Chain A
Amino acid sequence: MMQEIGVVARKRRATVPVRWYMTLGVVAALVLLPRVITTPYYLHLLILVLLYVGLSSAWNLTGGFAGQLSLGHAGFFGIGAYASTLLFLNFGLSPWIGMVVGMLLAVVAGAAIGYPCFRLRGPFFALATLAFGEVLRVVSISWRDLTQGSNGLSIPFKPGFANMMWHGKEMFFYVILVYALVAVGIVWQIERSRLGYYLIALKEDDSAARMLGIDTTRCKLYAMLISAALTAVGGVFYAQYVGFIEPYSVFDVNQSVQFALISIIGGLGTVLGPVLGAFIMIPLSEMLRAAFGGAARGFHLVLYGLILMAVVMIVPQGLALEVKDRYKRWWMARQSAISRRKGQADAV
């Protein structure tokens, strides 16, 4: 991603605005989408896609940029969901404020699990965070007085902006669209900043990074805290949208896996990766379920698992980088073809 910006900026200054126009175009199209797509099912699908764009982008900060593969981000997701829901149910506190509380709690949890565990390498960090998420799940099931245990919590439907609830899906769509844009925007901003450079550096070579004055633990911590906070926000929106939360869905390992999976398929450590991944994987699993769900129980998931394995084995660096590579190669080839033709024309 970064060398692409460099190449584009150096080659033709006029090209940079094109990228901006493209992004603006996409955003405008998304904003207008609910006008075009009125079927609730498709709108629901889009909302899910955008929600996961946000959640996976958040995960990508820790997993892709800092290189710490977390399988416990569902913990932050659930903290956000439960914090805002409990405050709303017990004190009538607006979920917008509950969101801030959820973010703070997630940040504390993120520091607590991250700080001691950052020096653990790949699979060990993954296991530690997995355990973290599971502990939260077990505790939330057990602490019935607080959370109603596995019965879950239902949010009574009281529409209004302060309550973060609306009739229909349109308003949710816009709110979650903003969430996705903010999340992607934050990641994009970090990538170009010193923190972004430092994160990529320490992921490449920890010793070399340290010798350049980088406090690698502190950088990873920052990434983790921002990641945790953003994930918790996603949890709040999820709770309000679905209207019901329970330990098995918000603190689920599979939820953590989903955040990671989307980023990995799309491309770790890239801004576009989670976006691409979400736009591909969510509709894909829905399509599979729609097409094969009736055939034999679990068949669509067998296909899903096989596709996942195939993608990871064939395109391990993620689809975003693969697409970018091919685009660059096509562009370079086109450039040399143009200059060759020009040379021939000049010769004549």
Chain B
Amino acid sequence: MLFEVKGITRTFGGLAAVRDVSFRIEPGEIVGLIGPNGAGKTTLFNVVTGFLPPTRGEVEFEGQRISGLLPDRVCQRGIGRTFQVVKPFGNMTTLQNTMVGTFFQDADPRRAKRAAEELLEFLGLAHRREALAKNLTIADRKRLELARALGTKPKLLLLDEVMAGLNPAEVADLLGLLREIRTRGTTLFVIEHIMAAIMAISDRILVLHNGGLIAHGPPRQVADDQAVIDAYLGERYLIA
């Protein structure tokens, strides 16, 4: 078992953004996290990756406690993450951005550069490698965020709405890439709003509502769950 979240609660003043959430993620899985806006998904990510300390509860990764560690330590344990609002290093090029990721594995600039170039090939960004990150389109920025995170060779990768703002063709492309990433050995934990995408790609789905986990299981089961329909889906969601 790769990743275990035990009773994580995070409150802000009187408001519980995340309430007693527990789940596990096994190696090689793709686990989806869905829920209405304000459900606490990004807060959960922030707690789990060390940007916020949990008010209660623990997080374990590969049997070791990581709750309370700072983000750079969390990354060093093997967890990577992208952000909902992308954070490119605007004044560096696409290649340089990716190198910041690949430097994690190797301090030598030439090898880091080569590894970065391979990643950019993989993600279809090689043609933009000299462009300044601030000049990239939103779709390219999302890919860059992904490339950068992959540079650290994480065992578990947390993706926060990596498909937001993409058109259906781009979504389909990205889905293919994500499956390839999983095949290459990275476990994925994905927050997403695009139902078609998340249902298609996830082995299991967690549903968060008002900070609490209201459903948990394979996509079909979750889509049929009445609580999920009431809280989020709105009507019975037909899976093709």
Cross-chain contact A197 with B103 (CB below 8 angstroms): yes
Q: B76: which of A2, A193, A213 is its contact (CB, 8 Å)?
A: A213
Is B148 in the interface zone, CB < 8 Å from A? yes
CA distance A192 to B130 in the complex (A): 16
Task: Kindly supply a per-residue 1/0 record for chain A positions 193-210, scoring 1 wherever the CB is within 8 Å of any chain B CB and 0 otherwise.
Answer: 110011011001101111
Chain B residue numbers with a CB within 8 Å of A204 are: 89-92
> Nearest Cβ distance between residue A100 and chain B, in whole angstroms?
27
Q: Which of B68-95 contact A (CB under 8 A)?
A: 70-72, 75-76, 80-81, 83, 87-93, 95
Q: A210: which of B72, B101, B151 is its contact (CB, 8 Å)?
A: B72
Is B152 in the interface zone, CB < 8 Å from A? yes
| Residue of B whose beta carbon sits closest to that of A218 | B72
- Secondary structure at the B interface, as helix, strand, loop or mixed, is mixed
Chain A residue numbers with a CB within 8 Å of B107 are: 193-194
Cross-chain contact B101 with A212 (CB below 8 angstroms): yes
The answer to whether residues A197 and B71 also contact, given A2-B92, A6-B93, A208-B87 and a CB cut-off of 8 A, is: no
Chain A residue numbers with a CB within 8 Å of B75 are: 210-213
Is A7 in the interface zone, CB < 8 Å from B? yes
Is A10 in the interface zone, CB < 8 Å from B? yes
| Residue of A whose beta carbon sits closest to that of B100 | A201
Is B149 in the interface zone, CB < 8 Å from A? yes
Cross-chain contact B99 with A197 (CB below 8 angstroms): yes
> Nearest Cβ distance between residue B116 and chain A, in whole angstroms?
10
Cross-chain contact B51 with A205 (CB below 8 angstroms): no
Q: How many residues on the B side are at the interface (Cβ–Cβ under 8 A)? A: 33
> Nearest Cβ distance between residue B103 and chain A, in whole angstroms?
5
| Residue of A whose beta carbon sits closest to that of B148 | A212
| Residue of A whose beta carbon sits closest to that of B92 | A200
Is A90 in the interface zone, CB < 8 Å from B? no
Task: Kindly supply a per-residue 1/0 record for chain B positions 36-54, scoring 1 wherever the CB is within 8 Å of any chain A CB and 0 otherwise.
Answer: 0000000000000101000
Chain B residue numbers with a CB within 8 Å of A215 are: 72
The answer to whether residues A205 and B149 also contact, given A2-B93, A3-B93, A212-B104 and a CB cut-off of 8 A, is: no
Give the A-binding residues of B (Cβ under 8 A): 49, 51, 70-72, 75-76, 80-81, 83, 87-93, 95-96, 99-101, 103-104, 107, 109, 112, 130, 132, 148-149, 151-152
The 28 sampled A-B contact pairs (Cβ below 8 Å) are: A3-B132, A6-B95, A194-B107, A194-B109, A197-B92, A197-B103, A200-B92, A201-B92, A201-B100, A204-B91, A205-B87, A205-B88, A208-B88, A209-B100, A210-B70, A210-B71, A210-B72, A210-B75, A211-B72, A211-B75, A211-B81, A211-B83, A211-B149, A212-B72, A212-B148, A213-B76, A213-B104, A216-B72
Can you name 13 extra interface pairs (CB under 8 A) apart from A6-B130, A197-B109? Answer: A2-B92, A3-B92, A3-B93, A194-B112, A197-B96, A198-B103, A204-B89, A207-B83, A209-B100, A210-B71, A211-B75, A212-B75, A212-B151
